[in-house]
Amino acid sequence: MYSNKSNNFFHGVVFHHFHDNLIHPKGQGTISQKEFVDIINFIGRKNIIDANIFFEKFKNKELKENEVCLTFDDAVKSQIDIALPVLEQMKIKGFFFIYSSIFEGKPDNLELFRCFRLNFFENVNDFYKDFYSHLDFDIEEFFEKNHQRIQTKKKNSPFYTIEDIKFREIRDNYLDKKKYENIIFLMMREKNFNQTEFEKKIFFNIDDLKKIDSLGHLIGLHSHNHPTLFEKLNYNEQKIEYEKCLLILSNILNKSKSDIKFMAHPCGNYNGDTLTILRKLGIELGFRNTMTIDNKMKLNKINSSPFEIARENHSNILKIIKSTNK
């Protein structure tokens, strides 16, 4: 049974990547179409609320404790190819949160790097090992120095392994963005990775976005460039990220900017400036990436503001399903 004491409040479930072992390879964090169906059935179709209904019930303060919506981040093509047919067959409307630089031919390198990792390494730990070999400092000393912070992040993000957390700690809090990307691009050159070829397989195109919208799913903001640590941006930088995303999406969909009222925080990261900006842009519903109270943001309860609605990661639900079936 999905509903329990740890999730007895309305929330979203967040999905990112899917695999089919044809176009979209299996890798860390990906799920199959069957696993997607299993998650829906485990939650219970009657408990899954269409995105538009979820929003209306939220505005009217009518959402029940066990009501859930499905959300999809990052505009990755596997959502169109693998998840969308299931949504249509089961008559479920979801939220799709889009970062807009992909429509300017400037996709988030994070997603491109992920594709490189999936296609050129046996597993994620092999990728980490290769990455660490390009660093010019003692990583073990770094991990020891930051042990407490790494453990805290692991506790708050149980869907990541400890090795994932360690890698992200180096990527986000030690290396600057340019140095990190230069290392990955060097690794890509070493393995003859064809960036242009893979970009077409990874991301939504304009027709995909229009299709999702025409089918009745709700489109929301996910910033322009998808920064991994939004809180490190100043107010004006954050404002530009969301204003540009809103402008591009509204133009593509031929909508008024006021028609787009939804968002999800990239990597679940934000601060007080972010919430102020979203309010001024007319956003009415926003999602976080966790199901716990965030002490850093001084939240005193779950779903404490319209821009901080909790989301469960699909991987945590899969773990429950697998443990139940043992």
Cα distance between residue 270 and residue 287, in whole Å: 11
pLDDT, residue 253, reads: 98
Cα distance between residue 49 and residue 43, in whole Å: 11
Dig out the tokens for 256 from the structure. 């008024």
pLDDT, residue 236, reads: 98
pLDDT, residue 229, reads: 87
pLDDT, residue 293, reads: 75
Dig out the tokens for 253 from the structure. 């969909």
pLDDT, residue 261, reads: 97
User: Quick one: 133 exposed, middle or buried, by C-beta within 10 A (0-12, 13-18, 19+)?
Assistant: exposed
pLDDT, residue 77, reads: 95
pLDDT, residue 153, reads: 85
pLDDT, residue 111, reads: 82
| pTM attached to this predicted model | 0.84
What DSSP letter does each residue of 181-245 carry, written as one string? HHHHHHHHHHTT--HHHHHHHHB--HHHHHHHHHTTPEEEE--SS--S-GGGS-HHHHHHHHHHH
Cα distance between residue 71 and residue 86, in whole Å: 14
Cα distance between residue 274 and residue 297, in whole Å: 12
Dig out the tokens for 182 from the structure. 């230069």
- Asked if 167 and 143 touch (Cβ cutoff 8 Å), the reply is no
pLDDT, residue 296, reads: 64
Dig out the tokens for 168 from the structure. 């992200």
Q: Are strands 262-264 and 95-98 parallel, antiparallel or unpaired?
A: unpaired
Considering the chain, tell me which residue range(s) the CATH 3.20.20.370 domain(s) occupy.
11-107+203-325
Which residues on neighbouring strands pair with residue 97, listed in sequence order? 73, 220
- Asked if 131 and 167 touch (Cβ cutoff 8 Å), the reply is yes
- Asked if 319 and 42 touch (Cβ cutoff 8 Å), the reply is no
DSSP-H helix ranges across 101-190? 109-120, 124-132, 139-145, 147-156, 162-173, 177-190
Dig out the tokens for 196 from the structure. 């242009």
Q: Which residues contact 217 (CB under 8 A, 6 or more apart)?
A: 51, 87, 93, 94, 95, 96
- Counting every residue written for the chain, the total comes to 326
Fill in the DSSP letter of residue 21: S
pLDDT, residue 295, reads: 61
- Asked if 116 and 193 touch (Cβ cutoff 8 Å), the reply is yes
Nearest Cα to 109, choosing from 188, 52, 20, 49? 188
Cα distance between residue 172 and residue 184, in whole Å: 14
Helix or strand run (H / E) with residue 165: helix 162-173
**What stretches in the chain show pLDDT beneath 70?**
1, 4, 294-300, 326
Architecture of domain 11-107+203-325: Alpha-Beta Barrel (3.20)
pLDDT, residue 326, reads: 65
pLDDT, residue 173, reads: 84
Q: Which residues contact 256 (CB under 8 A, 6 or more apart)?
A: 250
Query: Per residue in 109-159, pLDDT tens?
Result: 888 898 899 889 989 999 999 999 999 888 999 999 999 988 988 887 777
- Asked if 225 and 112 touch (Cβ cutoff 8 Å), the reply is no
pLDDT, residue 51, reads: 98
- Between the two ends of the chain, the Cα-to-Cα distance in Å is 14
